Chain A
Amino acid sequence: MSRSGPPQNEHLWGDLPIEEPRGDDRSKPPDWALPAWDSLPIEEAAAARLQREAPGGDAAQPRAEASRAEASPTEPAGGFALRILQVSEITRAVRDAVRSDAGLRDVWVEGEVGRVTVSSAGHAYFTLKDERSQLACVFFRDDRLGSPFEPRTGLRVVVHGRIDLFESQGVYQLYVAAIQPAGFGDLALRFEALKAKLAAEGLFESGRKRPLPQRPAVIGVATSATGAVWHDICHVVARRWPLARLILAPCQVQGEGSAASVAAALDRLARWGEMCRAEGRPDDAPAVVILARGGGSLEDLWSFNDERVVRAVVAHPVPVVCGVGHEVDVTLADFAADVRAPTPSAAAEMVVPDRTEVAVVLRELARRAGGHAGRVLGGARAELAAEGRALERLQPSAQLAQARERAGYLLDRATRALRGEIGRRREAEHRLASRLGPVLVAQMGWRRVALERSSAGLAALGPQATLNRGYAIVRRRSDDAIVRDEAEAPAGERLSVRLAKGEVAATVDPESDTKSGAELHAGDLR
């Protein structure tokens, strides 16, 4: 078919007895008639078909009969025939052309989702656009409900489907069979590739993992300053271990530039720690760092799969606990971290102890200290009393020092043994000890050799050892009686104080009450 130029058009219009159905001014052709039919760049196949049908006769095309009658070519010369088509005809012609094109029957289209509407029947209608064009899309209810991914305005997606014409509206549309986030397959591939690369470098090896400090005084946190994550971490630490101090390094945790922002926040915490240590206040340096982010889509969490973030975690000077997303979300930062926490709150719980548990440990320590102090003092008093009794009986003197030690020990041991065996009251013990004392002295002569052999071991427990430990034996000068009671040494009484080495003389000061003070104190310790 030859394209007609404007002159021919004018000529044709001039000759044709076109009737205006609405009785408009016939002196000029109506707007809709321009340009001429045969100049329209319609599909060649459709045009050829139309031309074939033209001589076919009115009976074959009853619906087009009227217009065809009017439009019958009066000048068939040159093979040209003007045909006026029904709207539905042209629509169907376009539809057929579209349907016959294999390239449009099965398409994958990437674009950004524009406005989305969902009809009451459950079908979703949305536009897909790029910088230059828009494409109407329809996502039927059954396909939509079966899809894990919903079109949402602003998302970049890849849509799979076919192009077809919606005849009643005369628009072509993309009939969506499936929809996925753009780059979905890309992301998964990049994740695996980077993971393999970093794993080959050994960055994820368990040998690199550092233990967490038991009770960190300062905890660095790299997360968004806005949002629930930071709030949750503060809440958990305030409840469990409020002795700690949190230092937030705010960062952007999703979207463009977030990976660099997260890596920079970790770097700031590292520099801050180094600065504190360099300035001689290591207590202000973070002892552990939490890297956290709430849950989100794969893309939302993508910055935590960035190589820069992974390397910042691995290179961090103190252990890093990573709590990103929910339990099921695992990022490369999780692999790189010293400890992986399932959630941000769990990360906070991991880095600090629970103060109620620590309080239990403290109480146990206090109980042990009190118990031992009480036993030590109680034992010392019993020992002192027993030695005192022994010395009293034996009338110790410098010449008898060695024998006194041994005797004192033996008496003491006998006393204790008797106490254990018989379980008598204190008075009874005392009586028995009194009787035993002289017997032991009498036996001393023939036992001396045997005693001397074991004296080295025994000495450790005898009175001299006790004196060496700082105890003293106080006697009245007047009668050499051992002083055990304040009442036995009234003011002005002259005393002799036996020390580990030598003796000193002393007089009881009228105002002194040190002994009762010491007694009171020992009582406190029980």
Chain B
Amino acid sequence: MSDQPAAGQTVDIASLTFDEALAELQRSVAELEQGGLALERSIELYERGVALHERCAGLLGQAELRVQRLVERAAGELAAVDARTEDGAE
């Protein structure tokens, strides 16, 4: 059963942002708690919930702050370039 890709599971969890994963996890839990679900749906929701939780926890633990600097080029064109935290100089 777990080998079969569920029909609703179209979005790859690894590509979700923290907020997206958290929102889906919250929806899954709410649906589970509401009850009256078919067995398959319960299992599907739970499995996906576990994966969503792992995604969120992984992001929380492993994320590294990304720092950019907004630079204005000629003609007022803006660009965000990656910068280092300790990079103090202009």
Asked, given contacts A226-B90, A373-B46, whether A247 binds B69 with beta carbons under 8 Å apart, the answer is: yes
Contact B17 A250 (CB under 8 A): no
Contact B60 A243 (CB under 8 A): yes
Name the interface residues of B59-90: CB closer than 8 Å to any CB of A.
59-60, 63-70, 72, 76, 78, 80, 83, 85-86, 88-90
CA distance A231 to B32 in the complex (A): 45
By a CB distance below 8 angstroms, the chain A residues around B63 are 242-243
B13 contacts partner chain A, Cβ-Cβ < 8 Å: no
Contact A245 B1 (CB under 8 A): no
CA distance A514 to B1 in the complex (A): 8
By a CB distance below 8 angstroms, the chain B residues around A275 are 78
By a CB distance below 8 angstroms, the chain B residues around A225 are 69, 88-90
By a CB distance below 8 angstroms, the chain B residues around A370 are 46
By a CB distance below 8 angstroms, the chain A residues around B53 are 362, 365-366, 369
CA distance A144 to B76 in the complex (A): 51
Contact B59 A369 (CB under 8 A): no
The chain B residue sitting closest to A240, CB to CB, is: B65
B8 contacts partner chain A, Cβ-Cβ < 8 Å: no
Name the interface residues of A418-438: CB closer than 8 Å to any CB of B.
none
B7 contacts partner chain A, Cβ-Cβ < 8 Å: no
Pick the contact of A369: B28, B66, B68 (CB < 8 A). B28
- Interface size class on chain A is 35 or more
A246 contacts partner chain B, Cβ-Cβ < 8 Å: yes
Asked, given contacts A243-B18, A368-B33, A380-B39, whether A237 binds B65 with beta carbons under 8 Å apart, the answer is: yes
Contact A248 B67 (CB under 8 A): yes
- Convert A189-233 into 0s and 1s, putting 1 for each residue whose CB lies closer than 8 angstroms to a CB of B: 000000000000000000000000001010010000111001100
CA distance A272 to B78 in the complex (A): 7
Contact B39 A377 (CB under 8 A): yes
Name the interface residues of B40-64: CB closer than 8 Å to any CB of A.
40, 42-43, 45-46, 49-50, 53, 56-57, 59-60, 63-64
Contact A362 B22 (CB under 8 A): yes
Contact B85 A284 (CB under 8 A): no
Asked, given contacts A355-B60, A362-B56, whether A373 binds B88 with beta carbons under 8 Å apart, the answer is: no
Besides A220-B70, A365-B49, A369-B49, 6 other CB < 8 A contacts?
A225-B88, A271-B78, A369-B32, A372-B29, A373-B43, A376-B37
- 24 A-B Cβ contacts within 8 A? A215-B18, A215-B19, A217-B17, A227-B88, A234-B65, A242-B63, A242-B64, A243-B18, A243-B60, A244-B65, A245-B68, A246-B68, A250-B69, A250-B70, A250-B90, A268-B72, A359-B57, A362-B22, A362-B56, A362-B57, A368-B32, A369-B32, A369-B45, A369-B49
Q: Which 4 A-B pairs have the closest CB atoms?
A: A373-B46, A238-B65, A369-B49, A242-B63
